[in-house]
Amino acid sequence: MRIILLLYFLSIHCILYAQENISLLLKSKTEYKDSIQIAKSYSNSNFYLIKNSIVNKTPESTYTYNNIDLGELYKIDLFNPLQIKLFYKDQNSIVILDNKLSEIKKINFNYSNPLINVVAFSSANENNIWIYDEISMRLKKYNYIKGSFENIDIPIEGEVKSLKGNYNYCWLLTNNHLYKFNYTGSLIYKIQISEMDSFNFYKNNLIFVSNNNLFLFDESDGRIEKINYEKLLIKDFFVIGETLYIYDKDFLNQFEIKIN
């Protein structure tokens, strides 16, 4: 299952590769089977994916959510633990949960007008969600309280690989470019970049994965720096604070990120 992170120079056509030494120090290696931990110590909660259910374990209680009618759970967005977002791609639907995994909102984009086909989504500010619509080939901002869309009139070139946002910005990665938008949808930069599969946030930078290699993208100067580590089969990864978590075939690997 796939569960699937300043003024800029818009004239930049490539990203420079730096020589700074960035490495990973292995802190722990934990075997997993049916249970996949998708966030650790996140707002005093540990979130797990167990088969097709999301589970939130706190010191006091355990909460579980499963929606058989919507099929396979494709992506979980835990940016805001009070508004957890689940994407069921086959049903073109997003479910929003509170921290006890009770439904706040269920959105089926098959009934939107005009029709929207969501291929990627992420949290945005307040009650908004960033979505990429395959039909119009546009990034859109959806307010799930009002049920309204704001269209971002910037053409997106290439196949969308990853989309992630926070309260202030949205990053969209295609097979050819990395786009960054502010919270209103204005384009901050568009940089040519290729052969990256996905990314996650690390401090004020991004970590990319490409063919089981990891790269740190420094937004302050546009450089990409390869991270040195014993190569693993990367099924998924996430970052919390100074710690990088990598799922390989059988283990959850916990690393400290070291920059020399």
Per-residue pLDDT, 200: 94
Q: Is the pLDDT of residue 121 over 90?
A: yes
| Secondary structure of residue 144 in the 3-state scheme | coil
Q: How many CB atoms lie within 10 A of CB 160?
A: 17
Which CATH number does the domain housing residue 34 bear? 2.120.10.30
Q: Is the pLDDT of residue 182 over 90?
A: yes
Per-residue pLDDT, 40: 54
Task: Write down the pTM of the prediction.
Answer: 0.87
Looking at per-residue confidence, does 113 or 215 come out higher? 215
Q: Name the nearest CA neighbour of 199 among 48, 191, 18.
A: 191
**Per-residue pLDDT reduced to its tens digit, 161-173:** 999 999 999 999 9
Per-residue pLDDT, 18: 46
**Per-residue pLDDT reduced to its tens digit, 232-241:** 899 889 888 7
- Is 5 within a domain? no
- Is 2 within a domain? no
- Is 206 within a domain? yes
- Is 1 within a domain? no
- Is 4 within a domain? no
**Per-residue pLDDT reduced to its tens digit, 147-156:** 999 989 899 9
Cβ-contact 173, 198 below 8 angstroms = yes
- Is 3 within a domain? no
For 130, the domain range is 16-259
Per-residue pLDDT, 15: 43
Buried-exposed string 19-50: b where 16+ CB fall within 10 A, e elsewhere:
eeebebeeeeeeeeeeebbbbbeeeebbbbbe
- Number of separate domains in the chain: 1
- Is 63 within a domain? yes
Q: Is the pLDDT of residue 4 over 50?
A: no
Looking at per-residue confidence, does 56 or 6 come out higher? 56
Per-residue pLDDT, 39: 60
- Is 93 within a domain? yes
pLDDT confidence band for 146 (50 / 70 / 90): very high
Taking residues 52-79, report their average pLDDT: 93
**Per-residue pLDDT reduced to its tens digit, 27-64:** 999 887 666 666 655 567 888 888 899 999 988 999 99
Q: Is the pLDDT of residue 114 over 60?
A: yes
